[in-house]
Each structure stands twice: as C-alpha cells, then as structure tokens.
Structure 1
Amino acid sequence: MNTRVVSFILALGLTSAAVQASETFSVVPDSAQALSIVGGRYANLSDASAVRVAPASILKIEKSELLINTALWHGDIYVKQNGGQGVPMNRPWVFPASMYFVQPVIPGRLSFGLGVSTPYGMAASYPKGMGGALRYALPYEATLLTVDITPAVAVKITDDLSFAVGLDILYADLTMKQFYNWSNIIPGSAEGDIKIHGQGWGMGAYAGINWTFAKRHRFAVIGRLPVKVNFSGDFKSTNMPPALMGAGFSESSSFKSDTTFPGSISVGYGFDVTDRFTVGLDFKWAQNSSHDDLPILIGNNQALLGGSTGSVFGWRNSIDIGTGMSYQLNENWALRGGYLFSENSQPQNSYTPLVPGNDRHVFSLGVGWRGKTRGVDLSYAYVFYPTRVISGAASSPANQYDGSYNHQWHVLSLSITQRF
C-alpha cells in the first residue's frame, strides 16, 4: 500500500520541482520579439514584455503601448521503457497567451508597466489506456497553471544608467490524477483514481539595471527573488475499499503543500554593430536548488504515506547561455534570429516521465513589422532535448521509469502591439 501511494505523491513532488525550474526548463519567452532573439534579449528587447524580462528597458518605449501575445506549441514527447511499452504524450498542443502595458509618465525618464503572463507551467497527459507497470506508476494527467501579475516602475538615473523594480504576484493551480490499484491492499478490490488539487498565491520582487557604458555598447542586469506558493486544496480517491474507510481513512481529505519558484540572476550584453545590425549575448543563473523538498499533508489520510510527510529532491542550480541578432531591413521591417542553451537541472535519480528534462537547445527565427501606431511580430522556435537514457531512477518503484526519452517542441508565436 505505502509504495503505491508514495509513488504517486513522489511524482507530484517531482512535478513541482520541475516546475520551479521552469525558467530554464519549461517556458520559452512569451513575446514573438523576445523569442526570436531568445539568447540575446536582456539588453536588446524593445517591446512591452520587457516589463517582466528586463524592466529598465521599458524606458525605451516613448508612447503608451499595449502588447498582446499568443502562441501555438506542439510537443513531441515519447517514453520508451527498457524492454517494455512506448507511451506518447496524449495532448501535444498548448496555447499560452499574455498581455503587457507600458505607460510613460515622463517619456524617457519615468515609466510604469504592468504584465499578466504565464511564465511557469506544465501540462502532461498520457493515454488512460496505458498498461503494464506504468499504469499505476505514472499519473495520466498533471497540470500546473500559473498567472503572474507584474507591476514595475523604471527611472532614468543618468543619461547612461537606468533602474527598475517590480513585483511578482503569482497565482498557481496544481492538479494531478492517477490510477490506483486498491487490490494490492484489499485483494479483489476494483481499480480507482487518486486526485490531488491545490491552489495558492505567492509574492516576490525583481529589479533591473541598464547601463550604456560606451557608444553602441550596453549591459543589462536583472535579479529575481524566489517566490514561495502555499497550496491548499483537497485529496480525493474513488473506489476506496470499505474496510479502509472503516479503519479511519476517507475518499476525500484536505491537501496542503508549498513550492518555491526559483530566484535568478541574468546578465545581458548588447552591441549595435551598425545602425541596422544588433547582437546580444545573455547569461542566466537560476537557483533551482531553492526548492529542496515538497511537504505533503492530506489530513486523516496521512497514514497512507507510511509516516512520510513529503519528498526530498536533488535538483541542481543551472545556467542559460545564448545569443540573438536582429537586422533592420528598413524603417518598418526587421529580421531576427537566436540560439539559447539551457543546462539540465534534473538528476537521474529523481527522473519522472511527467517532466522529461535534459539539456535544452532553442533555435529561433522571427520577423517584425512596425508602423506608426501598430506592430506585428511573428516567430518560430524549435526546442530540442537530446534523447536521454535513464537507468536506476530512485523515484521509480522497480525501475519502472527506466528507458529512453525523446522530447521536442515546435513553437509559433504571434504578438500584436498597439500604441496610443
């Protein structure tokens, strides 16, 4: 009994750990311009998504500006067990969106910005018809929805130095569903489901500095504090044997936990090679180890965990490094391209098919059009994870997660800007 329930709860914990690493793992930039220069955006980004990405850069925006972003993601994720079945991800399409607004108070000197985005998230779904050991070891559905509200203020200190500060007001909604084999406890019992659902809020802060240290050369530095979210919700099960309910367990109980989204330090360098051609170089360090465990509290059903009150992880801090370039064809049109490498932070002994991580490579291309009051940007990115082979994952009972993992995403992003 304990092994099966702990397996489910551990999968939940690993999911949250993966999500807290998602600045370097799950989510690529949400605006088309930022995505197209994915590895060189911190010092060069000029659209309103800078509110969250590089807040001091909103001083570049001279008129009131509204930016709406939408994207189409298609994932190709396939799990192949050693000597066993292959399981594809069941829902490969994701459609995120975001919105930003910048209001210059004193143009070029003082600006206010507000963003509503989904910078972290996960949507893993595997076929309900999957059989074998994975049926009771792998949740068939796991989702994490986050909404980040980011107000920011930027001020120009000198002609060459700008400073900005902002808040991360983060809402998170976490759901996990998995089949459960009650016959392992009470022989002959029907199969059931286990579901955990929790919601919570957290708050953090971030700041940025832009410095033009020489003609055509500039630095951007952005620091972001960790954000802790306390989850509160419920634990539910179906077809729990009457004998267990008679022993004090119940098909539903409370659920409480918490998770920490990581702090980070980002540095960007921008260089205008000519009046038309710009290059950027970015580096980022993410403190993914800030979330080292996940408490699991499920009320009167706590004994199902065999005395455990949570899971411990071995996630590592990680880095991003990349470049981005843009070329201004004329007054209205620009071409862009970028590359980003994100270091894997998930060790083998805490691996799960819910978050099949590895080193990540992002290749992007984009085009932008800017008129007097409107702008349109379109970008495409290929997100590639080399095949990863897992052997002896401690998170997997009887090594059920051992095998090879193929993982890639195609991302098409569209942004529309309206200036007032």
Structure 2
Amino acid sequence: MKKVMIKTSLSLAVTLASTQLFASGFALNEQSISGMGTGFAGRSSSVDDASIVFGNPAGMSRIKRQQVTVGVAAIDAKTDLSDTRGTAAGTNKGDMVPFTAVPMGFYVNPIDDHWAFGLGVYAPFGLVTDYENGFQGRNFGSKSQVKVVTFQPTVSYAFNDKVSIGFGPTINRISGVLESALNVSGALGRPTGDGRVQVKGDDVGYGYNIGLMVQATETTNLGLTYHSKVSYNLEGHTEVTRGAGVPALALGGRYDAELSIDTPESVDFSVTQKLTDDWKLYGGTTWTRWSRLKDITVRNSGVTGAISTPLVSTITEEQNWHDTWAYAVGTSYQLNKQWVLRTGLTWDQSPTNNTDRSPRIPTGDRTIFSVGAGWSPTEDLTIDVAYSYLDEEKVTVNRTNALRQSYAATYDNSANGFGLGMTYRF
C-alpha cells in the first residue's frame, strides 16, 4: 500500500497547485540555468550544456565531451491581497510563499559519433505556499507543499550531422503536505474552534521524454520535445481532527482513503537562429495539457455519523483547468571567449478559471523578463547565472463550501528568480 495520511476538509482537492513558480499550473521551468537566462526560449533547440537531457534528449548527440551540469534556482515571491472578505475572522498578510530553492543535476557521456548516454535529476513539478496561522481563508487552504523529483536515464542517436533523436524513461517520486483549518460552525449552527487539516502522501510514477533535433540549415536549428503524462495512485487513510465545541459524532476518525492524479503531458518546440558569429536568436512555444485536471476526488471508506458522512466520505473539489500555451523569445551575445550574455521574455497562460480558482492556486497569466550570463574561465569550466522577474495579472478568488463558509480576495502576485549553475567538461 502506498503511504498517504490525510486530515482533510472540503478544500482538500488541490494537492498539486503552485502559486508563484515560473511555469503555469504547478509545473516548474527551472531545469537549466543557461536556459533561464533566455527565458527558456531555445529550450529544445539550443545545446549549451548537459541540461539538454531534460530540454531535448536528442541534443545529447551534439555534445562532444563528457560533462556534468549542476545548478540551483531560488524563488522569492510576493503577494498583495485586497478586497478581502469572508465568513471567518482573520488576517490577510499575503506572505504565503517562503524563499524556495530548486536544485538540478545532469550528466552526458558521448559514446561515439552516433550514440550518447545521459542522466538527469530534476524537479518538473512542485509548490510551496504557507499562509499565516490566522489567515482569513484558512478553511480553503493554509499550507501546501508538494515536491516531484525525477530521475531520467537517457540515450540519443544521431543519424547524421543533421538529424538526431533521443529517449529517456522517467522515474518520478511525489511527496507532499497539505494543511487547512476545519471549522463546522455553519453545519452545527453554533461557533466552533478550528480543527487541524493536514495531508501527507507519497508515490512513485513512471513516464518518458522523447525528442527530435534537426539542423535545418547551417544557421538554423530546430527542436521538438514531448514530456509524457505521469499517473499517481495513492492509497492510505484519512484522519479528521475535531475543533473545540464539535461533538464526537460530527467529525473525527480515521478511514481508508484513495486518491489518484495525473501530471500532464507537454510539447515544446523551439528554434535557434545564428545571426552572426556572436549573436543568436531563440524562439519557442510550449503546450501543456492541463485540461486533464477537471477535479480531484478523495474517496474514504468506513465513514459513519450523521454529519461526518456527507463531509468526508467523498471529497471533491472542482478545478476545470484548461490547456495552456507559453511563448518565449530570447537572444544571446558572445561578448568574448570567456563571456556570453543572455536575455529573454516569456508569456505564460494560467490554467485556472475565475469560477474555480482557490487560495491554493490564485494565479493568472504571467509575463517573465529574464537576463543571464555564462563565464568560462577555462575550456573545461562554465559558470552560469540568471535572474528572472515575474509579474502576474491580478486575479480574484471567490469560494464557498458546503458548510456555507466563504472567502474572497484579489491577488496581485510577483516573484524574483535567481539561478546559479556550473558545467564541468572532462
């Protein structure tokens, strides 16, 4: 049995949703610091280092020396809340995303003129949100933390100096914590204290990445990458902790539970155009099938009690996400043998809608401006740095649950991203 522990409420269902990450939904873009500098515009067509294992496994065949790339991206987010209202009393500070770091590591070994082997360890999905203890919307979510770590062994084959392909299975481990308050005063008709709501779970799922790279002309490189969906099935138990003033019959207990969810597939296409010996231009687009997330449902067995049965026997929250497109343009300039400068601009759609958006996923369409640089003090070593600024459109949250509790607010989100990476060739 896969392990999951749930102390849950009606707002359980968003176990996988990000608020301030640099890709739509709960996806992460931070698998390459060199790519971060150009806004990931040339993710599947530019072979800068071993992070191409994720960007496009076909590109490994373009690497002529064995190399290791490691890096970390840090995210510092800010949220301003306004026009807040709700049935619960509380605060609306908006300081809900702690300073978060996302590590990554890749290895590529060219075997001969045709074959190359690579390994990757990275985070394709994840979130961290943690509201203050007295948050007014705590009945709809107070803390969420989800991590997906992927291990990807990969091979690529070059048919010739123009066309190559690559494939890598992915082994994905998901773990997470979800918390919210549980207050049933509306159902019981009298004030009650907050109960504690917490979700903990983990599972392992399997998928694959496949890529194609084509040198269309001497100056134009094309890349296409498909990242498959991954299915997770969690089985375990539900625990409900009652707040003060709630009779034992109403809530409280431990039940068997089942929860299933898919992370979506995506397709990335990009072009790298060499303008001069020093200048390169990048363009790219990514489609993600977020429409898979219609709802998330937890089914509990063995639930008894007149009030508790409808509250926790089957817990569903509608999401109704839609497919998204992201578009990016970028450029790089080889200043000299040691330094390359980068910049990029990204437009990224949010999969959420105005009806079902919750405090766990208060995101809107976003614009991201990026700059970066690579420094190569020797032919064997390159150090990359990057900075991104994310600005989201203002969005509204307006939620009501089965206990007649409500919360509404306008969210104004922004974030700063910092990246540091190193590539060593040997």
What TM-score do the two structures reach when normalised by structure 2?
A: 0.87
Residue 334 of structure 2 is matched in structure 1 by: 328
- Counterparts of residues 236-385 of structure 1 (less than 5 Å): 236-239=239-242, 245=248, 250-301=252-303, 303-305=309-311, 308-370=314-376, 371-385=378-392
- C-alpha change, 1:88 and 1:136, in structure 2 (3 Å) is closer
* Shift of residue 194, structure 1, vs aligned partner: 1.7
Counterpart-to-counterpart distance in 2, 1:137 and 1:241: 15
Residue 27 of structure 1 is matched in structure 2 by: 28
- Give the conservation status (yes or no) of the 8 Å contact 2:362–2:411: yes
Counterpart-to-counterpart distance in 1, 2:237 and 2:25: 30
* Shift of residue 236, structure 1, vs aligned partner: 2.7
* Shift of residue 320, structure 1, vs aligned partner: 0.7
Counterpart-to-counterpart distance in 2, 1:169 and 1:369: 33
Residue 168 of structure 1 is matched in structure 2 by: 170
Could you tell me the percent identity over the aligned residues? 20
* Correspondence for 1:118 among 120, 123, 137: 123
- Give the conservation status (yes or no) of the 8 Å contact 1:124–1:354: yes
Q: Secondary structure at the match of 1:171?
A: strand
- C-alpha change, 1:253 and 1:7, in structure 2 (3 Å) is closer
> Please, which moves more after superposition, 28-37 or 14-23?
14-23
> Please, which moves more after superposition, 16-25 or 309-318?
16-25
* Structure 2, gaps ≥5 residues long: 1-5
- Give the conservation status (yes or no) of the 8 Å contact 2:12–2:317: no
* Shift of residue 198, structure 1, vs aligned partner: 1.6
- C-alpha change, 1:299 and 1:241, in structure 2 (3 Å) is farther
What TM-score do the two structures reach when normalised by structure 1?
A: 0.88
- Counterparts of residues 134-283 of structure 1 (less than 5 Å): 134-184=136-186, 190-239=193-242, 245=248, 250-283=252-285
Residue 10 of structure 2 is matched in structure 1 by: 9
Counterpart-to-counterpart distance in 2, 1:327 and 1:395: 53
Counterpart-to-counterpart distance in 1, 2:19 and 2:99: 19
Counterpart-to-counterpart distance in 1, 2:22 and 2:236: 23
Q: Which amino acid aligns with 1:260?
A: D
Q: Secondary structure at the match of 2:53?
A: helix
Deviating above 4 A after TM superposition, structure 1's stretches of 4 or more consecutive aligned residues are 14-26, 182-190, 240-247, 392-399
> Please, which moves more after superposition, 52-61 or 230-239?
230-239
- Give the conservation status (yes or no) of the 8 Å contact 1:349–1:394: no
Q: Secondary structure at the match of 1:298?
A: strand
- Give the conservation status (yes or no) of the 8 Å contact 2:270–2:285: yes
> Please, which moves more after superposition, 404-413 or 27-36?
27-36
- C-alpha change, 1:81 and 1:236, in structure 2 (3 Å) is farther
Counterpart-to-counterpart distance in 2, 1:220 and 1:214: 13
Q: Which amino acid aligns with 1:358?
A: G
* Structure 1, gaps ≥5 residues long: none
- Give the conservation status (yes or no) of the 8 Å contact 1:250–1:300: no
> Please, which moves more after superposition, 85-94 or 56-65?
85-94
- Counterparts of residues 31-180 of structure 1 (less than 5 Å): 31-38=32-39, 39-82=41-84, 86-106=92-112, 108-130=113-135, 134-180=136-182
Counterpart-to-counterpart distance in 1, 2:246 and 2:405: 31
Output one character per residue of 1:313-343: Cα deviation in whole Å (capped at 9) or x when no partner: 3110010111111111122210011111111
Q: From the two aligned structures, give the one with the greater helix fraction.
A: 1
* Shift of residue 83, structure 1, vs aligned partner: 5.3
* Shift of residue 16, structure 1, vs aligned partner: 4.8
- C-alpha change, 1:231 and 1:121, in structure 2 (3 Å) is same
Output one character per residue of 1:264-310: Cα deviation in whole Å (capped at 9) or x when no partner: 11111111001111111101111111232322023334824366453
* Shift of residue 199, structure 1, vs aligned partner: 1.1
Is structure 2 residue 399 aligned with structure 1 residue 387? Answer: no
* Shift of residue 359, structure 1, vs aligned partner: 0.6
- Give the conservation status (yes or no) of the 8 Å contact 2:167–2:210: yes
Output one character per residue of 1:3-35: Cα deviation in whole Å (capped at 9) or x when no partner: xx9993335337459899955665233321010
